[in-house]
Each structure stands twice: as structure tokens, then as C-alpha cells.
Structure 1
Amino acid sequence: MKFMKTVLFTILLMSSQSAFSQTKNEEELIRKARQTSNEAIARQDIDGISKFWLDDYLIVRGSGVIEQGKEACKKNWVKMFKEAPQTNFERFPSEIIISKNNPDLAWESGDWKGFNTYSKGGRYSAQWKKKEGEWKLQAELFVALEK
């Protein structure tokens, strides 16, 4: 009996470590996607920015303007870079949580910085959704807090 308890405990311990490892791996994939997105913004690469968006992507910009749909958002980025080519944004995630309720959903929050734009930055949050094995952005909310 003692042997069986030891075996069961070992199996439970190994499976919990495996789940923790998988969650950390998913978190790292999202961090890498965020970094790649930041790099695409710096290059003004609209396709590189939008490749992380789902078709029904929703953004609330730091100014409070709401935009919905991947194609509409792409047009607004093109317009912004055309009118203000020196503009840049960077996001710095401080927390990424993979949902225990649905492992294909994740929460990200952190700080964002704006360069040569109306605000120097603020806070943001994002909802990621894993679709066909890749993490994509469902929605982002930015709040401009710095002048």
C-alpha cells in the first residue's frame, strides 16, 4: 500500500511539473510574439504587426478611440505612419497568465511607451487566443497615462 501511495504521489508530482512547464512555454511564446510585434512596429511593417491579430481583432487606443477588424486597423496604422513617420510604440509585458479555464486563452498586461506621438505611454492589457496552434491577439486595451 505504501508503495502505491508513493507511485501515485510521484505521478501527480510529475504531471503537475509538466503542466507548469507547458504553461511557462506558452507564456514564452506570447512574450516572443509581443517582441516580434514591437520590432514590426519599429520597422513600420504593417503586415508584421497585423499577423498577430485575429480577423475580428478589437483595439481601444490610448486616446480612447475604438477600432474593430483587422483590415480597418491595418488602414489606420498605414495612415498613422504616413502622417507621422517618426511615431513608434513599444509594449513591455509585466504579466502573462494562461487561463486555467481554457488553455487557449491568455491575459497579458504591462506598460507601453509612445515615441514622437500624443502620449509618452501608459498601461495596457491584451487577450490572446490560441488558434490553429498560434497565439493571436483577440483584443487590446491601451490607456494613455503620460503626457
Structure 2
Amino acid sequence: MARAPKSDIQLLGDKQAARAIAAARADFNAALENRALKAIATHLAEDAVLVPGDEAQLITGRAAQIDAWASIFSQMPDVSYVRTPSRIEVCEDSQLAAETGRWKGAWSTDGFAIRYSGRYFAKWRCDDGVWQIEAETFVTMKRSGGADQG
């Protein structure tokens, strides 16, 4: 079920397509919150690429991303990640789109609260009327917590 996207997102190009992407992003965030791996997978292209915001490894492919999420959810039961789009721009032929925004991640480990946040860029592709994430790049701008940061 599509969640309503925030109303303050700047939508450029094909507004209907941009709203569909915003709704897909809201669904993706809900899937992360609910640890719904199948729902996460529906929003990822088969060869989707994720560039993490820190020193973590590049993750290539839907299956590899789902494996990574399953591992994260099992190792950090309280983990949360949210992407908040600020701009979605759909190209002239309505087949590609660029999304930019802010992201937040939080979890606890060994009694320490960890918080990360930053900026992200996502590339979306429409295939047979379905928008999927083809690539996401994250830049960590702020981090706090952990044993070495107090």
C-alpha cells in the first residue's frame, strides 16, 4: 500500500511520475522500518548499486542488498534508516529520475547509541510503468556515539 509522500518535496519534470517515486520512497522507508525484505526488494532494480556513506563496501545487486539488510536487521535489532527526499526530478522521456535528500541512521551497540546522517542521491528507472532504484550514493556528514566517540 502506497504511503503518502511529504508535501514539501520539490517535484520537477513529469509531476505524476515524481509523485509515484515519492510514494515509492515512502514505501521503501516503511519496508525498512518493518524489516520487510520482500518489500525492500520490490523497490530495487536487479542490478541496483548502493554506495554507503562511510567506509563500508559497495553493494552491487538486489540479492546482495537484501543479504546485507538481513544481516543488519539480525545484528542490530533496533536499527533504523530513513531517507527523506527534498527534490525529485524526472527526465524528459520519463524513464529516469534523480532524487536527492537527507538520510539518518541509528542503532545501539554495546550500550552505546550510534547516530549517522548525511546527504544522498538516488537514480530511479521506470520499467514497464514501475519505478525502481537503480543506484543510491550516501555521504555521511555527521556521526555521533559509539565507544570511541562517547
- Is the structural similarity TM-score above 0.5? yes
Q: Give the corresponding residue for 2:138.
A: 142
Q: What is the TM-score of this pair, normalised by structure 1?
A: 0.81
CA distance in 2, matches of 1:21, 1:83: 39
CA distance in 1, matches of 2:21, 2:53: 22
- Structure with greater helix share of residues: 1
Deviation at residue 21 of structure 1 after TM alignment: 10
The 1:21–1:54 alpha-carbon spacing in structure 2 relative to 1, beyond 3 Å, is: closer
CA distance in 2, matches of 1:120, 1:22: 31
Q: Which runs of 5+ in 2 are unaligned?
A: 1-10, 109-113, 144-150
Q: 1:70 aligns with which of 45, 62, 68?
A: 62
Q: Deviations over 1:64-90 (max 9, x none)?
A: 421101111111110011000100100
**If you compute each CA radius of gyration, which structure gives the higher value, 1 or 2?**
1
Q: What is the TM-score of this pair, normalised by structure 2?
A: 0.79
CA distance in 1, matches of 2:123, 2:115: 23
Q: Which runs of 4+ in 1 moved over 6 A?
A: none
- Do residues 115 (structure 1) and 111 (structure 2) align? no
Q: Among all aligned residue pairs of Structure 1 and Structure 2, give the percentage whose two residues are the same amino acid.
A: 29
Please tell me the root mean square deviation across aligned C-alpha atoms, in Å. 1.8
The 1:119–1:66 alpha-carbon spacing in structure 2 relative to 1, beyond 3 Å, is: farther
